């Protein structure tokens, strides 16, 4: 059961094709919406002409609450997945019902709070220092939203181009960050969309401790490959070790220890 159950009588289902506009800044804000299945992206066009995705909308998410006035949408929302289904609610009738139904008014406030919470999480994500931190935090947020953190595997609902526009990065930077996280053993990739979190702690720590985590995993791997306590070093390391041993033996002979 979702919020706004009392508005179900007003709901009109819309089946959208991929890339179809659901609402836009050029149209009046006459409806509220809820994603039933699939996904959608809320975006704006920046002054330099580039697109910025400011919200990723997943099943259960509401949108269409205008921040300017009742006749003007503040952004454009597009369906991401072919066959995305959205429920629309006529705004004027919904507001009239809320005026006389305290339970509905509480549900509307809850929906608005959730939308604000998504915006806050997105701002914190953009505040990350490095691209690798942003991509890692984005993966963690998606898993939390899609499964409540109950699984470490997720199928990305949007393309890497959309991820780039979400994080204000280039698509090349997103791909490079995913590759680096894979090489460090933090995530595992299957195809272009399926991601499995291998080291959640490293993603949560971000770049501040990712190098240390990477070093710990490399050391552990080295010890597993050299389990014998008597394993002898080879190559340049062996030369340094022999010189060190010779110096130590000479010192013991001089000191009588």
Q: Tell me, what CATH number does 179's domain have?
A: 1.10.10.10
The span from the CA of 114 to the CA of 101, in Å, is 20
The backbone region for 235, taken as left when phi is positive above 0, alpha when psi lies in -120 to 50, beta otherwise, is: left
In a domain, 118, yes or no: yes
Same domain, 193 and 155: yes
Residue 82 banded pLDDT, cuts 50, 70, 90:
very high
Residue 68 has pLDDT above 60, yes or no: no
Residue 257 counted as domain residue: no
Q: The pTM is what?
A: 0.74
> What is the DSSP-derived secondary structure letter of residue 41?
E
Mean of all residue pLDDT scores within the chain: 81
**Rg over CA atoms, the chain:** 27
Residue with tokens 């597993």: 224
Alpha carbon of 156 to those of 30, 35, 66, 167: distances in Å? 31, 17, 28, 15
Please give the pLDDT value at position 25: 77
Handedness of CA 179, 184, 186, 187 (dihedral sign): positive
Three-state secondary-structure class, residue 99: helix
pLDDT at position 213 over 60: no
Specify if 26 maps to a domain. Answer: yes
Q: Does 255 fall in a domain? A: no
* Same domain? 58 vs 102: yes
What's the distance, CA 239 to chain centroid?
48
The pLDDT value recorded for residue 226 is 55
Q: Are both 31 and 142 inside the same structural domain?
A: no
pLDDT of residue 3: 57
Q: pLDDT band for position 185 (50/70/90)?
A: very high
Find where tokens 């963690």 sit: 140
Q: Map residue 24 onto helix, strand or coil.
A: coil
* Same domain as 38, residue 115: yes
Q: What percent of the chain has pLDDT over 90?
A: 46
Q: Which domain holds residue 25?
A: 5-126
Residues 9 and 106 in one domain: yes
pLDDT for the residue numbered 223: 53
In percent, how much of the chain has pLDDT > 70? 76
Composition of the chain by helix, strand, coil, percent to 5: 50, 20, 30
Euclidean distance between CA atoms 95 and 65, whole angstroms: 11
- Does position 6 have pLDDT exceeding 90, yes or no? no
The residue with greater pLDDT, 143 or 4, is: 143
* Alpha-carbon gap, residue 116 to 123, rounded angstroms: 11
Domain boundary among 69, 103, 126: 126
Is residue 197 within 8 A of residue 152, CB to CB? The reply is yes
pLDDT at res. 70: 54
Q: Starting from the edge strand earliest in sequence, which strands make up the sheet with 153-155, in order?
A: 153-155, 194-197, 187-190
For residue 4, the model assigns a pLDDT of 72
Answer yes or no: is 245 within a domain. no
Residue 73 has pLDDT above 50, yes or no: yes
- Whether pLDDT at 142 is above 80: yes
Q: Are residues 110 and 198 in the same domain?
A: no
Asked whether residue 227 carries a pLDDT value surpassing 90, the answer given is no
Give the mean model confidence (pLDDT) for residues 129-137: 93
Task: Evaluate if residue 5 carries a pLDDT over 70.
Answer: yes
């Amino acid at each position: 059961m979702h919020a706004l159950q009392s508005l179900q009588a007003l709901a009109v289902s819309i089946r959208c094709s991929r890339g179809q506009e659901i609402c836009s800044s050029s149209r009046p804000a006459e409806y509220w919406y809820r994603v039933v299945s699939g996904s959608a992206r809320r975006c704006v066009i920046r002054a330099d002409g580039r697109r910025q995705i400011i919200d990723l909308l997943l099943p259960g998410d509401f949108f269409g609450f205008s921040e300017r006035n009742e006749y003007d949408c503040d952004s454009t929302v597009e369906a991401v997945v072919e066959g995305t289904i959205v429920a629309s609610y006529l705004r004027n009738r919904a507001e009239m019902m809320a005026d006389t139904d305290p339970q509905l008014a509480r549900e509307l406030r809850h929906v608005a709070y959730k939308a604000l919470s998504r915006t806050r999480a997105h701002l914190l994500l953009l505040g990350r220092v490095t691209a690798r931190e942003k991509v890692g935090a984005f993966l963690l947020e998606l898993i939390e939203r899609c499964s409540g953190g109950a699984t470490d595997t997720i199928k990305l609902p949007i393309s890497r181009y959309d991820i780039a526009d979400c994080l204000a990065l280039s698509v090349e930077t997103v791909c490079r960050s995913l590759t680096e996280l894979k090489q460090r053993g933090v995530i595992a990739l299957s195809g272009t969309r399926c991601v499995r979190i291998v080291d959640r702690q490293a993603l949560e720590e971000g770049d501040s401790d990712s190098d240390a985590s990477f070093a710990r995993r490399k050391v552990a791997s080295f010890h597993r490959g050299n389990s014998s306590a008597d394993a002898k070093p080879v190559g340049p390391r062996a030369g340094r070790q022999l010189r060190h041993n010779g110096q130590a033996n000479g010192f013991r002979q001089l000191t009588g220890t």
